[in-house]
Amino acid sequence: GLILVTGVTGYIASWTALKLLEQGYKVRGTARTLSKAEFLKNGPFAKYTSNFEIVEVADLEDNGAFNEAVKGVDGIAHIASPFHYRVTDPYVDLINPAVNGTVNLLKAAKEYAGLQLKRVVITSSFAAIVEPHDPGHVFDEAQWNQHSINLAEAFKADPTNPSKQVPPNEAYRASKALAERALWDFVKTESPSFEVAAVNPVFVFGPVIHSVKDAESINTSVFLLYKYIAGLNPKVEEGAGPKAFVDVRDVADAHIRALEVEEAKGQRFFNVAGAFTWAEIVEILRKHNKLTKNDYPPTGEVVQSYVYNNAKSKEVLGLNYISLEDSVLATAESVERFL
Ligand code: NDP
């Protein structure tokens, strides 16, 4: 079958496309920067060039942005969405592209793809699940982040009020929660002939295969880990709130299985390998001699304070998660060239 992968030039999407190609699928990737897509075609996807085509989609928010790209596809993995914390206006920078991109994609799929389109999987996030909770809380896919949506809506109602400004991480979370909500609303109101599913990954680590020009351009989640590898953090800081990881190869598999598995239709999947602390990551890096830039002193034991239930993704999608040590080591090896 032919699968459309939106934002194919990104970290997660490039892995999803590669694994689809390896499994014999044809892939059509959308890109706003064609040179980054050509990099994939000539590099990581070189063995599969006859099965990989590139379509330019300059702006997710353009009405009809995906109308051409969806034609004739059998499945869609909609992965393109902004993930960064450079926020001046939460709506302009994050929420509008996330929501309008999703709605544009779904509308195009309904009107232009054709009846052979079986299923659309969208990349949501833990951001669409997580809300403030006391330590010990167990997170799973039954939960929804209304908290960040409320913050975004309070800002929208009173945008110049200094007390209604939205912190960048909350703006990102709102963008993902609202985009996923737009998916389920679309299904309810439009009753499309295709099925849908959502994949909700936590922090994604693992090897980088897409085109990255310098350290600053590494995607947001890997850059947090890179900062330890490159010695950019003065010391190990856990920060507040829950922290869990998943390897990018397991995120790619989650998308593919969510497209393939009959039982996955209409479902969302919490895509998480387990909890981590930065102290654990630093010890893994130390063990493998990857702390060449800054020898962080050992921090001692840090208690894991939240629980992440990944049973559904294992049972329905058949995922068998890569460990923190394997994921961290593979990440370090793939970003060493930027040191
Ligand atoms: P990347 O930044 O590597 O990928 C983002 C992709 O979306 C890129 O292809 C990017 O294009 C494209 N994109 C972003 N903004 C726009 C825009 N305004 N118009 C057109 N295209 C755009 O990050 P990830 O691979 O990590 O993220 C992919 C998806 O996974 C996102 O939906 C993100 O929310 C989600 N996610 C990521 C997690 C993580 O920890 N990494 C965790 C949970 C969810 P270009 O290559 O040109 O920049």
Ligand 1 pocket (Cβ < 6 Å) reads 7, 9-13, 32-33, 36, 59-60, 79-83, 97, 123, 125, 176, 201, 203-204, 219, 221
ipTM value, please give it.
0.99
CA gap 78, 27 in Å, rounded = 13
Q: How confident is the model at residue 301 (pLDDT cuts 50, 70, 90)?
A: confident
At a CB cut-off of 8 Å and minimum separation 6, what does 64 contact? Answer: 104, 108
Distances (CA, A) of 83 to 94, 249, 289: 8, 19, 30
Q: How confident is the model at residue 208 (pLDDT cuts 50, 70, 90)?
A: very high
Ligand 1 centroid to Cα of residue 309, in Å, is 25
Do residues 308 and 203 lie in contact, with contact meaning Cβ atoms separated by under 8 Å?
no
pLDDT at 299: 82
CA gap 27, 75 in Å, rounded = 10
Q: Taking the model in full, what pTM does it have?
A: 0.98
Strand-pairing partners, residue 28, are 4, 53
Mutation probe of ligand 1 site: the residue of 6, 8, 15, 32 with most atoms within 8 A of C-beta:
32
pLDDT at 240: 85
Name which residue sits closest to atom 39 of ligand 1, judged by CA: 204
The CATH fold assigned to 2-338 is Rossmann fold (3.40.50)
Positive or negative, the CA dihedral 208, 209, 213, 219 is: negative
Whether the predicted pLDDT of 300 surpasses 80: no
Query: What are the boundaries of each domain within the chain?
Result: 2-338
Do residues 66 and 102 lie in contact, with contact meaning Cβ atoms separated by under 8 Å?
no
Ligand 1 centroid to Cα of residue 80, in Å, is 5
Query: Which atom of ligand 1 sits closest to the CA of residue 204?
Result: 40
- Write out pLDDT tens, residues 142-186: 999 999 999 999 999 999 999 999 999 999 999 999 999 999 999
CA gap 269, 317 in Å, rounded = 9
CA gap 262, 119 in Å, rounded = 10
Distances (CA, A) of 197 to 188, 259, 269: 13, 8, 8
Do residues 256 and 27 lie in contact, with contact meaning Cβ atoms separated by under 8 Å?
no
